[in-house]
């Protein structure tokens, strides 16, 4: 899950109740700026964003942030002429996140932005090459017809130049053969102070929170406090590799799946050998570690469990659900509905550190439905799109089979049972005789006991299993911090120091 920095008191002034008015119709005429016509594709998905918060970029608000709710509408278009304008309004077949549509938008002041998702290489609408309009303030107190110009383009990603930083960009033969087209895998590297080519170094593979890209290294390069420490004699001599989170249906989760392909195999047999042959000079398991938070916490723990001979330690913080009897608040094997609990109440998916519910599962999925070209979450590029791609079989329509219905939340028990292969508790239980000895001394998990996304429940279930293991008795370290939220204690520095301590123990 994405790590949230909660800013209630800053954003509350912009939260307003919807008007009880029947609303007003909105139409808008869209054209493409002359300077961008050469890069315009006539087929894509058109998004309209409406928010009452002046302090956000509407197009970036792709999930139902309870403090800055943005309404999203989307429709697929196959014949958008680049040299002519097109008019859109209530007559279009819009998917939306609201109960009201273009014919009756509640009156008020909004900040509007339009995005044209024309990219076919990446799974999310933030992909380079997509076009968007400038944010515009509008007031709806009557029928409106607004002219909008797609005048900006999302630029290519880049890594800040630094003598210790490098981008890895390699073709995956495994994934290219699976998809029958070229698939490239990217990562970034941060070398230690005084790095010498040919010298052997321990190596850390960091997995991002949901959808994190290889360019997240920029945040560390721009962090003066971290870089001052990293360049000092106090920092360990460890190579950092920042894996890329992009996949066909959102985050690839760095694991094999029926829908995204053999990402796990590619990582283990292509990416890691390529990096280590060029920059490390050894392929010893004893000096190879993996870590991450949120989605990265799940992936890093999964890599240690499913490839126990490859990594010598995992540092997993706030992992996504690792026991599907507690898939957040859902027991996928027993319950009938993902949106409503057994008492008929909407099931929350997010809370604050004091337990107050903030978002419902149903509302969250409504946003992913709009982001998906199928008008469902299955190809939204969001959290549940990626989960479904990873855990589910491929459907007859070429998309992942949904574990629950995108509108009603009804759970398909057959699909739910297929998810068991990535239920870490059941996997470890089934394979403990051979797995247990291989992961002794290698498991560290941290979880806030007031995790914003109720992920502590699944971690508790996994911990309860490990406490009762025999032959061997698990020595995994699982720490729960009271009143701490999602990823709140994750620290690159602290993880590197923990890895360094483990290396000293192995000397």
- Residue intervals of the chain classified under CATH 2.60.40 are 8-153
Cα dihedral 59, 65, 70, 71 in deg (nearest 10):
110
pLDDT tops 70 at residue 277: yes
Please give the mean pLDDT across all residues of the chain: 93
pLDDT tops 90 at residue 393: yes
Can you tell me the mean pLDDT for 438-465?
A: 98
pLDDT at 18: 38
- Residue intervals of the chain classified under CATH 3.40.50.1820 are 165-323+423-506
Can you tell me the mean pLDDT for 48-62?
A: 94
Portion of the chain with pLDDT greater than 90, in percent: 88
- What single DSSP character describes residue 501? H
Q: What is the largest CA-CA distance in the chain?
A: 74
Q: Using CB atoms within 10 Å of the CB of residue 365, give its burial: 0 to 12 exposed, 13 to 18 middle, 19+ buried.
A: buried
pLDDT tops 70 at residue 16: no
pLDDT tops 70 at residue 3: no
Closest by alpha carbon to 280, among 168, 186, 440?
Answer: 168
Can you tell me the mean pLDDT for 294-322?
A: 98
pLDDT at 283: 76
Cis check: omega of the bond before 69, within 30 degrees of 0: no
pLDDT tops 60 at residue 244: yes
pLDDT tops 90 at residue 305: yes
| pLDDT band with cut points at 50, 70 and 90 for residue 281 | confident
What CATH code would you report for 165-323+423-506?
Answer: 3.40.50.1820
pLDDT at 22: 57
Residue-wise pLDDT tens digits, 63-109: 887 777 899 999 999 999 999 999 998 888 999 999 888 888 898 99
Question: HEC string of 305-365?
Answer: HHCCCCCCCEEEECCCCCCHHHECCECCCCCCECCECCCCCECEEEECCCCCEEEEHHHHH
Question: HEC string of 297-318?
Answer: HHHHHHHHHHCCCCCCCEEEEC
pLDDT tops 80 at residue 307: yes
Structural contact between residues 211 and 124, judged by C-beta atoms closer than 8 angstroms: yes
The domain made up of 8-153 has a fold known as Immunoglobulin-like (2.60.40)
pLDDT tops 50 at residue 231: yes
Which pTM value belongs to this model?
Answer: 0.93
pLDDT tops 50 at residue 17: no
């Amino acid at each position: 899950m994405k790590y949230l920095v909660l800013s209630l008191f800053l954003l509350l002034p912009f939260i307003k109740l919807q008007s009880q008015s029947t609303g007003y119709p909105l139409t808008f005429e869209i054209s493409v700026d002359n300077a961008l016509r050469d890069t315009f594709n006539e087929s894509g998905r058109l998004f309209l964003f409406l928010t009452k918060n002046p302090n956000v970029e509407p197009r970036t608000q792709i999930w139902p942030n309870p403090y800055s709710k943005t309404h999203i509408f989307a429709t697929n278009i196959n014949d958008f002429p680049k040299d002519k304008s097109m008019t859109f309004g209530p007559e279009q077949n819009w998917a939306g996140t609201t109960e009201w549509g273009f014919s009756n938008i509640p009156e008020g002041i909004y900040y509007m932005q339009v995005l044209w998702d024309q990219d076919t290489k990446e799974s999310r609408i933030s992909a380079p090459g997509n076009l968007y309009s400038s944010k515009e303030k509008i007031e709806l107190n009557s029928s409106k017809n607004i002219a909008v110009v797609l005048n900006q383009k999302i630029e290519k990603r880049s890594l800040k130049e630094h003598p210790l930083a490098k981008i890895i960009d390699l073709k995956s033969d495994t994934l290219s053969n699976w998809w029958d087209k070229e698939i490239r895998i990217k990562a970034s590297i941060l070398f230690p102070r005084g790095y010498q080519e040919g010298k052997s170094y321990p190596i850390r593979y960091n997995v991002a929170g949901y959808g994190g890209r290889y360019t997240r290294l920029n945040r560390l390069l721009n962090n003066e406090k971290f870089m001052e420490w990293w360049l000092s004699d106090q920092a360990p001599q460890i190579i950092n590799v920042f894996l890329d989170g992009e996949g066909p249906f959102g985050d690839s989760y760095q694991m094999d799946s029926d829908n995204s392909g053999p990402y796990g195999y590619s990582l283990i047999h292509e990416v890691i050998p390529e990096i280590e042959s060029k920059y490390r000079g050894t392929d010893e398991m004893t000096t190879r570690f993996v870590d991450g938070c949120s989605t990265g916490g799940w992936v890093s723990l999964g890599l240690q469990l499913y490839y126990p001979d490859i990594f010598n330690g995992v540092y997993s913080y706030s992992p996504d659900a690792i026991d599907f009897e507690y898939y957040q608040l859902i027991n996928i094997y027993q319950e009938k509905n993902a949106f409503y609990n057994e008492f008929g109440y909407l099931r929350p998916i997010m809370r604050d550190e004091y337990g107050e519910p903030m978002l419902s599962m149903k509302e969250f999925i409504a946003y992913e439905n709009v982001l998906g070209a199928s008008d469902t979450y299955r190809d939204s590029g969001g959290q549940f799109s990626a989960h479904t791609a990873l855990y589910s079989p491929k459907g007859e329509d070429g998309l992942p089979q949904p574990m629950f219905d995108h509108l009603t939340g009804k759970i398909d028990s057959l699909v739910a049972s297929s998810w068991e292969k990535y239920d870490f508790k059941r996997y470890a239980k089934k394979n403990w005789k051979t797995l247990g000895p291989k992961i002794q001394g290698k498991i560290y998990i941290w979880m806030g006991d007031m995790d914003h996304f109720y992920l502590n429940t699944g971690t508790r279930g996994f911990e309860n299993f490990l406490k009762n293991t025999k032959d061997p008795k698990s020595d995994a370290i699982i720490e729960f911090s009271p009143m701490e939220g999602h990823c709140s204690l994750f620290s690159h520095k602290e993880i590197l120091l923990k890895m360094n301590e483990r290396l000293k123990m192995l000397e």
